[in-house]
Structure 1
Amino acid sequence: MAMFVHLMSAANAPRVRRSGIRADSRGQGGARGVYCFPVLPSYTLTHQWVRELSRSGTRGGLVAVHVRLDDAQSVLVGRYSDRARDAQACVTAAEAVRRVAALGDPRGWEVFVPRAIRPRELHRIRSVPQVAGWRYWPDAHGVRPCTCYGCRVRGEYGSRRLRERLPHPLDGPPPPVPVLLARVAAAGDPGDPDVLSDALHWFGMRRRGPLAQLAPLAAHPYAGVRENLVWAVGRWTTPGVAELMDVLADDPHPDVREAVETVREPA
């Protein structure tokens, strides 16, 4: 039997003890399953993902779930970067343990089980130190952090000060709301698409915003502006967003309708 460790929020431990681990994660090719890592002699390497996973927010910290899988169980193994290129190898659980253990530097590697973990496959659940492992990527220590919209994590400790100290030329920090609204007003009627799209780009980095002032853009004659409006406000928590998305869901342009479908998908 091959032994793996799966890291999860401590708040989910009672449910996992009763029902096992759900196949909630998305793997290579969109498959559903569970991410884990082989139990190695090195405690630090075994729990290397703790700090990185903690960045996404947890309830009660992380705990380690030790799982025993049949040696013949098919899994995917490879570096996390291989996932996007569909380059992870499909092997047995025993072979995955052998491959990872034979690596000189297994940091950044992962194993994906393409199914749920059954309760009888659980070995034990225990707490782990919350500072083990690396953040961002292996060997990131000493490298200037990136503050672009794709790399930063909303709400992360110190993220606002980091963006102010190292502003990204395209991704912020965004101009104040009054400045952006002034740009929208100055764009004219119906409004220059480039100016409006640029303002909506900055509005999209906010969690809430002046929906009443931006909602009229849903009737803009240029489909690109309507689509950018969806990307900007679709995930806001401002009251009225759902109703605006209902209107744009029936937009005559397919790109606008597709954008609404995307922002309505669970994160």
Structure 2
Amino acid sequence: MALFVHLTPAANAARIRRSGIRAVSRGPDGSKGVFCFPVLPSYTLTHQWLRELARHGGPRGLVAVHLRLPDTASVTVGHYSNRPGRAHTDVTASEAVRRTAALDDPRGWEVFVPRSVTRAEIHRVRAVRQVTGWRYFPDSNGREPCTCYGCRVRGEYGSRRLRRRRPHPFDGPAPATPVLLRRIEEAGDPGDPAELRAALRWLGTRRRGPLDRVARLADHPDPTVRAALAEAVGPWRTPGAEALLRRLAEDSDEDVREAVDLTDRLGGD
């Protein structure tokens, strides 16, 4: 039997002891299941995800749920970034433990069980030290914090003081879509890359966008503009957005293709 640990808010402990862990998390391919990590000899590595998950874990902190899975159980293992060379692959539970233990640096790696975990598979639920692990990403300690729209967390302890001390250029309300489209038109043809990237950055904060007005930028000669277009269109639910992303996924520039990989629209494709 392979032993894993699942970190969850303490408020869920009683329910988990009673009925197991529900499959509510979304995996790399969009399926529902449970994230966990192999129990390694190192306490710190085993519970490395605790501080990052604790940012949204509730006032009572997190608890560690140890679960035993059959060695032949189907899981996926990979790095949370899901980048080439670190993407999630289908393996057995025992193989996931072996691969993770063999890594020189297993920080940021995770195991996904594509189903719920039954009560019979729960080994124990215990308290865990709340100061273990990394926040934001491995090796983030010592780096200047980012206060952009995508990185900051509303209501996080000290976030208001941090934004006041380190204001970000994109702070404040986003310009209206017509204003951004006017900036794109005024940037010229093919257009100033800096102006286009700035406008696309704001358009990327929306759930839908003017796809027909920005699709031409997929042919822009500057790859940084094409990458910015991929990042902006990624969260859109506008009809035709997926087709444009697939086109950008075949771009000749590696950074553009990687920008598409960072979006969750084409996660498993």
TM-score, normalising length from structure 1?
Answer: 0.65
Q: Does 1:102 align with 2:102?
A: yes
What amino acid is the match of 2:127? Answer: S
Flag the structure with higher helix content: 1
Q: How far apart in 2 are the matches of 1:95 and 1:131?
A: 29
**1:1-267 to 2 correspondence within 5 Å?**
1-82=1-82, 87-170=87-170, 172=171, 174=172, 193-194=178-179, 255=238
Pick closer, same or farther for the CA change 1:195–1:109 going to 2, 3 Å: closer
Amino acid of the residue matched to residue 194 of structure 1? V
Please say if residues 73 and 92 of structure 2, whose CA atoms lie closer than 8 Å, have aligned partners that are also in contact.
yes
CA drift of 1:165 comes to 1.2
Percent identity, aligned pairs only, is 64
The count of aligned residue pairs is: 193
Deviation readout 1:28-61 (Å, 9 max, x if unpaired)? 1101000000000001110000100011232411
| 5+ long unaligned stretches in structure 2 | 183-198, 211-236, 242-269
Contact 1:11–1:59 under 8 Å retained in 2: no
User: Could you say if the C-alpha distance between residues 196 and 57 of structure 1 is closer, same or farther in structure 2, counting changes exceeding 3 Å?
Assistant: farther
Report deviation, 1:27.
Answer: 0.5
Query: What displacement does 1:193 show?
Result: 2.8
CA distance in 2 between partners of 1:18 and 1:70 (Å): 21
**Aligned 8 A contact 2:79 2:86 in 1:** no
Shift of 1:105: 1.0
Question: What is the distance in 1 between the residues matched to 2:47 and 2:31?
Answer: 24
Report the TM-score, using the length of structure 2 for normalisation: 0.65
Where does residue 236 of structure 1 map in the other structure? Answer: none
Match of 2:245 in 1: none
Pairwise CA RMSD: 2.9
Deviates more, 1:53-62 or 1:105-114: 53-62
- CA distance in 1: counterparts of 2:86 and 2:145, whole angstroms: 27
In structure 1, the gaps of 5 or more residues are 185-191, 206-222, 225-253, 259-267
- Change in 2 beyond 3 A, CA 1:101/1:86: closer
Structure having the higher Rg? 1
Measure, in 2, the Cα distance between the counterparts of 1:108 and 1:140.
12
Instruction: Mark the CA change 1:41 to 1:17 in structure 2 (over 3 Å): closer, same or farther.
Output: same
Does the 8 A contact of 2:67 with 2:123 survive in 1?
yes
